[in-house]
Structure 1
Amino acid sequence: MKLCFNEATTLENSNLEKDLTICEQNGYDYIEIRTMDKLPEYLKTHTLDDLATYFQNHHIKPLALNALVFFNNRDEAGHSAIIQEFQEMMHICDKIGAKYVVAVPLVTTEKILKKDIKQSCIEVLQELSNIAESHGVKIALEFVGHPECTVNTFEDAYNIVQAVNRDNVGLVFDSFHFHAMGSNIENLKNADGSKIFIFHIDDTEDFQIGLLTDDDRVWPGHGAIDLEAHITTLKQIGYSDVVSVELFRPEYYQLTPEETIEKAKTTTLEVISKYY
């Protein structure tokens, strides 16, 4: 299984240029690039051609652009903005060779009927699928394990992806999000492994289901998540592609980026090496 670094892990103590250099030194195979902050910051002093050249000349490669956020249940102006942003992402993917765009559902306190959430997600993901097809890019829907996210369980996300029924639309399986809203491991066991595009590994302190936040994440293997069940099930259903470590813990931002990236690698490999 290939090793990937998600830039949220060094959100406040590094930048894209540093992340690339340190990840390359530590033997990471891939990186998930944050498009809402780290990439725009990089492009203030570099070009996309610079980034493409870096990837051409180094081992590490771009796995995904992370992320197209709040894509569903938008008003007309919001939907138009999402489509424009996605088209810009396709240009970036073409330039640097990124394989995936992560799509994050709407987070809101507004009550929306689940049937309307599902319908909007299906329609938008099919539209994005049409755009992405000619670019050879796949879309990875990431459900978020928080009550205010419109798609917050594995079951709901998987049902949406199945209804979309496109080869280039699948899921991010994030252990934190799976645990945080009490998703059922049986649903993962019954899933089509080819629909899992990216595996986000993480762990968490043992707080109540429904109250966990990203700040509660800890190094893989250092928390309360049953990672053994997650990983063995992923393996059983045929997933063996990439594991991407994604942490948002504020105290980890107090470390140097070198310390964070090295620790993220060692803790991830300590867990993954038991199964792959």
Structure 2
Amino acid sequence: MIPTVSQVCSLHSPLEKDLEDFSAGHCRSIEIWLTKLENYVAANSVEKFRDLCAELEVTTPVASFHGGLLESQGERRKEAWDHFKRRLDLCGLAKIPTIVVACDVAAPLSEQVLERVQVSLQQLATEVGLRGLRAALEFQATSAIGNNLQTAVALVTDVGSPHLGVCLDAYHYHVGPSKPEDLGYLTKDNLLHVQVCDVADVARELASDSMRILPGEGEIALPAIIDRLKQIGYTGCVSLELMNPQLWQVPPRQMGEIGITSVRKLLGQNTM
């Protein structure tokens, strides 16, 4: 497994500072935040991004995230998909093979909405496949459909494309209706990305993204998740994802160091 840190852990710093400081902090695998990449390329070029990664000896295997695709209609749908296709093209040029897509379906759920989601997932698989990329569907605890690991796997399985899989976010797994036995639905083939964090001293019903903390400092059953990843032979990224405004104040160099160390410790890897 590849210990990774997401750029969202240092949300307010620019892409180039993240890459430079994370690299200096011995973090060599970085999950790109798409808005930062778009801003950087607009001011520079995608070639300069690739050169910077090569110079710093960092890899960028995953980009996060894109939402609003699955149930949108009319002009809003066209805008969402046009933006998504531009992002896919950008990821292709930037040599980022996997993009995380949010399963963010608003209530109420109906048969019509479910059919719309299923059609969108087929389209999603087609669009990423045309570009030789992969999309990792991230179930969201508050989504009307796809709010748990079991359903997310079922939605992906129904599409039956090697270009579409699941993103397991430990936060949504913990606060949503997922069950420990749902981990049994994960396979080496359907799991494309893993995001980790922790949550402490709060009822799951009251938890929010802003309460995410470093792995091992809270109550999420992370060891069970890691055990399952080992059982299925998962070799992809395990990425730290923190949306905590207090932790955003930590300088990127320090965040890179403590972030990658916490993930390596979680995975039982050498923290040096």
Normalised by the length of structure 2, the TM-score is 0.92
Partner of residue 28, structure 2: 29
1:246 to 241, 244, 247: 241
1:71 and 2:69 correspond:
yes
Who is 1:181 aligned against?
176
* Residue aligning to 2:167: 172
User: Aligned equivalents of 1:163 and 1:239: distance in 2?
Assistant: 22
1:116 Cα offset (Å): 4.2
* Offset of residue 72 of structure 1: 1.1
Correspondence 1:61-100 to 2 at 5 A: 61-100=59-98
Q: Are the structure 2 counterparts of residues 213 and 5 from structure 1 closer, same or farther at C-alpha, using a change threshold of 3 Å?
A: same
Contact 2:22–2:255 (CA under 8 A) maintained in structure 1: no
Moved more, 117-126 or 180-189: 117-126
Aligned to 1:8: 8
Q: Which residue identity does 1:111 align to in structure 2?
A: P
In 2, Cα distance between equivalents of 1:228 and 1:214: 21
Give the match for residue 139 of structure 1: 135
* Residue matched to 1:47: 45
Q: Which moved more, 1:219-228 or 1:79-88?
A: 79-88
2:187 is equivalent to residue 192 of structure 1: yes
- Give the deviation of 1:48 after TM superposition: 1.4
Q: How far did 1:150 drift?
A: 4.2
Shift of 1:199: 0.9
Could you tell me which amino acid in structure 2 is paired with residue 226 of structure 1?
A: A
Rate the CA distance shift 1:34–1:230 in 2: closer, same or farther, 3 A.
Answer: same
Which one of 144, 152, 163 corresponds to residue 147 of structure 2?
Answer: 152
Provide Cα deviations, 1:107-149, integer angstroms capped at 9, x if missing partner.
53x4122x4444323211211221222321001001122x356
- Counterpart in the other structure of 2:124: 128
Given that 1:117 and 1:150 are in contact with CA atoms closer than 8 Å, whether structure 2 keeps it comes out as: no
The answer to whether residue 16 in structure 2 is matched with residue 17 in structure 1 is yes
- Judge conservation of contact 1:73–1:121 (CA < 8 Å) in 2: yes
Structure 2, unmatched stretches of 5+, are none
Local SS of the residue matching 2:201 = coil
8 Å CA contact retained: 2:168, 2:195: yes
> 1:102: which partner in 2?
100
CA contact (8 A) 1:83 1:128 kept: no
1:112 — aligned with what?
Answer: 109
Deviation at 1:254, TM superposition (A): 2.0
| CA apart distance, 1:63 | 1.4
Superposition RMSD on alpha carbons, in Å?
2.0
Higher relative contact order (CA 8 A, sep 6+): 2
Count, aligned residues: 270
Contact 1:68 1:85 (8 Å CA) reproduced = no
Pick from 257, 268, 272 the counterpart of residue 263 of structure 2: 268
Percent of aligned pairs with the same amino acid:
24
Q: CA deviation at 1:26?
A: 2.6
Tell me, in whole angstroms, the C-alpha distance in 1 between the residues paired with 2:99 and 2:17.
22
Partner of 2:192, secondary structure, is strand
Q: CA deviation at 1:236?
A: 1.2
Unaligned runs of 5+ in 1: none
Give the distance between the partners of 2:76 and 2:29, measured in 1 at CA: 31
Q: 2:48 is matched by which residue type in structure 1?
A: D
Look up the SS of the partner of 2:139 in the other structure.
coil
